């Protein structure tokens, strides 16, 4: 099959020096972009042109470029990770855009994710929430000993589904309240379905939810936008698990 080319596209990109400075949109044009190129490869090409012209390149996060690490999140044409489903930005390809299209690219918009520069945001708030309770202290032993702990298939599957959360922040970016409920719920649900997570169960949900509120994330909007934009298909049913764990812990206190 012959390679298809986008002869010209227009990029409307958010530029911002740091969290304190005032941001603005700047417009750039690119020509002859392969539709087989990934979105980040297109951004690389843009930066090559900017550097050659003596212009400061656009700062954006990326690492694995395999849809695993979650660091590449961008808000593209009004959607977290762009106009495709179940993917991270690095897995988005230019075939999703039409000839002559104007593509609007923004960072995650959330008070708790302050802009570092341009499209890069500081998502360390997720790390702080994780440190508040998303861990276990029980000694699970070696792999052989750990495997002697029987877990029913349904619980194991639910735990694994929740554990697939990569902390990209798309749920926060998609939520009109910038809520981190889906992220916290995934971490709590993962450990709530494993026997190794029981020792901290009574305080985990309380501590993580409290830290989430302290860091300025909003309340759940109940619209389900977080589930729709999650690249790992984390179900909003995990939020019900979080609520159950939270209420149960408060009753037991």
| Domain CATH number, residue 194 | 1.10.1060.10
pLDDT, mean of residues 1-13: 89
**87 and 9 co-located in one domain:** yes
- Measured distance CA(75)–CA(224) in Å, rounded: 17
Percent residues over pLDDT 70 in the chain: 98
Please write the tens of the pLDDT for every residue from 124-168. Answer: 999 999 999 999 988 877 777 767 778 899 999 999 999 999 999
Total count of domains within the chain = 2
Query: Which of 83, 117, 151 is at the close of a domain?
Result: 117
- Measured distance CA(130)–CA(55) in Å, rounded: 38
**140 and 247 co-located in one domain:** yes
Please write the tens of the pLDDT for every residue from 176-195. Answer: 999 999 999 999 999 999 99
**205 and 222 co-located in one domain:** yes
**109 and 136 co-located in one domain:** no
**47 and 167 co-located in one domain:** no
- Measured distance CA(74)–CA(32) in Å, rounded: 23
**144 and 222 co-located in one domain:** yes
Q: What is the mean pLDDT of the chain?
A: 94
Residue 68: other Cβ atoms inside 10 A: 12
Is 40:32 a contact under the CB 8 Å cutoff?
no
Query: Which of 117, 140, 167 is at the close of a domain?
Result: 117
Sign of CA dihedral 85, 88, 89, 94: negative
Helix (H, G, I), strand (E, B) or coil at 121: strand
Q: What is the pTM of this model?
A: 0.93
Instruction: Give 251's pLDDT tier (boundaries 50, 70, 90).
Output: confident
Does 1 score more than 60 pLDDT? no
Strands (E), the chain: 5-15, 24-34, 75-76, 79-80, 102-106, 115-117, 120-121
**13 and 112 co-located in one domain:** yes
Query: Which of 85, 117, 149 is at the close of a domain?
Result: 117
Report which of 68, 62, 86 is spatially closest to residue 232, judged by C-alpha positions.
Answer: 86
Residue 64: other Cβ atoms inside 10 A: 13
Residue numbers of the domain that contains 225: 124-252
């Amino acid at each position: 099959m012959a390679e298809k080319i986008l002869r010209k596209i227009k990029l409307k990109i958010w530029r911002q020096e740091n969290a304190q400075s005032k941001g603005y949109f700047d417009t750039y044009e690119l020509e002859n972009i392969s539709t087989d190129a990934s979105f980040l490869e297109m951004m690389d090409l843009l930066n090559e042109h900017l550097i050659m012209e003596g212009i400061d390149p656009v700062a954006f996060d990326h690492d694995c470029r395999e849809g695993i690490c979650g660091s590449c999140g961008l808000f593209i044409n009004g959607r977290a990770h762009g106009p495709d489903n179940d993917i991270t930005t690095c897995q988005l390809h230019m075939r999703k855009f039409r000839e002559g299209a104007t593509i609007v690219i923004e960072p995650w918009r959330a008070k708790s994710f302050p802009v570092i520069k341009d499209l890069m945001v500081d998502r360390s708030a997720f790390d702080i929430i994780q440190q508040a309770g998303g861990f276990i202290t029980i000694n699970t032993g070696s792999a052989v000993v750990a495997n002697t702990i029987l877990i029913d298939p349904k619980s194991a599957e639910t735990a694994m589904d929740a554990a697939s959360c990569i902390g990209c922040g798309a749920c926060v970016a998609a939520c009109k309240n910038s809520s981190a409920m889906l992220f916290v719920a995934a971490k709590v649900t993962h450990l709530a379905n494993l026997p190794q997570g029981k020792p901290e169960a009574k305080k985990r949900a309380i501590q993580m939810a409290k830290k989430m509120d302290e860091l300025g994330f909003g309340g759940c909007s109940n619209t389900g936008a977080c589930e729709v934009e999650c690249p790992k298909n984390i179900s909003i049913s995990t939020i019900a698990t979080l609520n159950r764990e939270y209420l149960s812990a408060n009753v037991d206190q």
